[in-house]
Amino acid sequence: MPASTLDLDFFRDLCLAPGPSGYEEPVQKVVAQRARAYAEVEADVLGNALAHVGGDGPPHVMIAAHADQIGAVVASVDEHGFLSLDKIGYLEPDLLPGKSFVVWSAKGPVEAVAGHRPWYVVQHETPEKKPSTIDQHWLDVGASSREEALSLVAIGDPVTFAPRFAALAGGRYASPAVDDRAGVYVAFRTLELAAGQPTAARVTAASTVGEETIFVGARSLALALRPDIVIAVDVTFASDHPSVGPKELRGRVDLGAGPVLERGSFLNKRLFGFAVEVAAAEGIPVQVHASGGETLTDADELMVAASAATMLVSVPVRYMHSPAEVVHGDDIEATARLLAALCRRLAEDHRPGMFAPQL
């Protein structure tokens, strides 16, 4: 795969911006600031951020990735000042103990740590310990009373793992928000590349809200914009580490081996084949992953735009939904280059009904 030209500053800014579902505004501000240099930028009432390049001709291609990350909200505060939480998205409670968190209050960020039971108590518990639930955990902000804690935070304040961006060896990066800031990077980097290719076709990049919870952003966009072609960009589980393998994850996916094209029951088969052809022509290696039903991504909701051919492209990630999701920079940039080439070819070769079944 060609050497990465990843814009590290943009990707880092995206990963460090807090944005659990329903609280994505800091991420969208990063997106808007970047996109205004080359595109028309707008936001809708739900919080989706949109940017457009090109003309008004067909096809209208929408590239969508979700801005939100998993997290929690402050649900209650006890008399000693400890915070109880309610989950936002698939936050695994057993990952909380001993980790650093930030409560994003109206007064500013408040550092917190998740409590941890003493090891000498835990070691005497039954070995058949079941996964914990969120109500068994608490955050410690250093307060000694409920009143002191509530002077710092409020009920309903969003909570995330402490933002972090680490450069690892071999062009890999770790952050708790790679899912799906890698996808947001791809969508808007693709738009930036497409902006340098004058065309009558219209390309829209969308940073959507609420994917980790109720998919509200993607659902609304599919119905409002009615694009001709939809490309959902997300991350997918890599299988190249000791805890899992291809069998458990229904297919082999490696970091550094290129974008992952999803082939599934309801994703457009002709658009998938077209993307494979473009990747081969551009010399961009791709991986293929199969999905027999729902993909659990925005693609499922974007397909409600009945006139749109829909595909899902993913960036491989290790340790998804953890405080340290790991991604390869080459995969991110290669995905953007593939989609930019795909948009160019779609504009050049477009004809009505080209992705519809031939009956």
Average pLDDT, the chain: 92
* Cα(206)–Cα(63) distance, integer angstroms: 6
Q: What is the pLDDT of residues 184-224, one digit of tens each?
A: 999 999 999 999 887 778 999 999 999 999 888 888 888 88
Percent of the chain with pLDDT over 70: 95
Q: Is the predicted pLDDT of residue 3 greater than 60, yes or no?
A: no
Q: Which domain holds residue 40?
A: 8-69+165-349
Residue type at position 290: A
- Burial string for 316-347 (b: 16+ CB within 10 Å, else e) reads bbbbbbbbebbbbbbbbbbbbbbbbbbbbbbb
Examine residue 319 and state whether it is found in any structural domain, yes or no: yes
- Averaged pLDDT, 53-80: 94
d(CA 233, CA 314): 6
Q: Is there a single domain that holds both residue 121 and residue 52?
A: no
Residues 246 and 206 in one domain: yes
Beta pairing partners, 85 = 74
Res 137: pLDDT: 95
Query: pLDDT-based confidence at 122, cuts 50/70/90?
Result: low
Predicted confidence (pLDDT) at residue 281 exceeds the cutoff of 60:
yes
Name the pTM for this structure: 0.94
> Total structural domains in the chain?
2
Summarised one tens digit per residue, pLDDT across range 291-305 is 888 888 888 888 876
- And the tokens for 23? 């609280």
Per-residue pLDDT at 134: 94
User: What local confidence, expressed as pLDDT, does residue 101 receive?
Assistant: 98
Average pLDDT, integer, range 335-354: 91
Q: Among the options 24, 192, 211, 325, which is catalytic?
A: 211
Measured distance CA(44)–CA(196) in Å, rounded: 26
Verify that 259 and 152 share a domain, yes or no: no
Element (H, E) at 349: helix 329-349
**What is the amino acid identity at position 72?**
A
User: Is 76 inside a domain boundary?
Assistant: no
Do 54 and 94 belong together in one domain? no
| Domain CATH for 278 | 3.40.630.10
Residues 91 and 62 in one domain: no
The dihedrals phi and psi of 315, each to the nearest 5 degrees, come to -105, 130
Cα–Cα distance measured from residue 20 to residue 158, given in angstroms and rounded to the nearest whole number: 7
User: Does any domain span residue 358?
Assistant: no
Q: Residue 21 pLDDT more than 80?
A: yes
Better-scored residue on pLDDT, 357 or 105: 105
My answer on whether 193 and 290 are in the same domain is: yes
Q: 135-149, 236-250, 274-288: lowest mean pLDDT where?
A: 236-250
Please, which residues have CB within 8 angstroms of residue 211's CB and are 6 or more apart in sequence?
Answer: 21, 66, 68, 180, 217, 218, 234, 297, 298
Average pLDDT over residues 36-51: 95
Active site residue 211: yes
Q: Is 302 helix (H, G, I), strand (E, B) or coil?
A: helix
Q: Which pLDDT belongs to residue 121?
A: 65
The pLDDT of 126-134, averaged and rounded, is: 77
Residue 350's pLDDT is 84
Mean pLDDT of the 40-49 span: 95
Who has greater pLDDT, 175 or 358?
175
Domain CATH for 110: 2.40.30.40
> Tell me: the pLDDT tens digits for 230-268?
999 999 999 988 888 787 777 899 999 999 999 987 899
269 and 306 fall within a common domain? yes
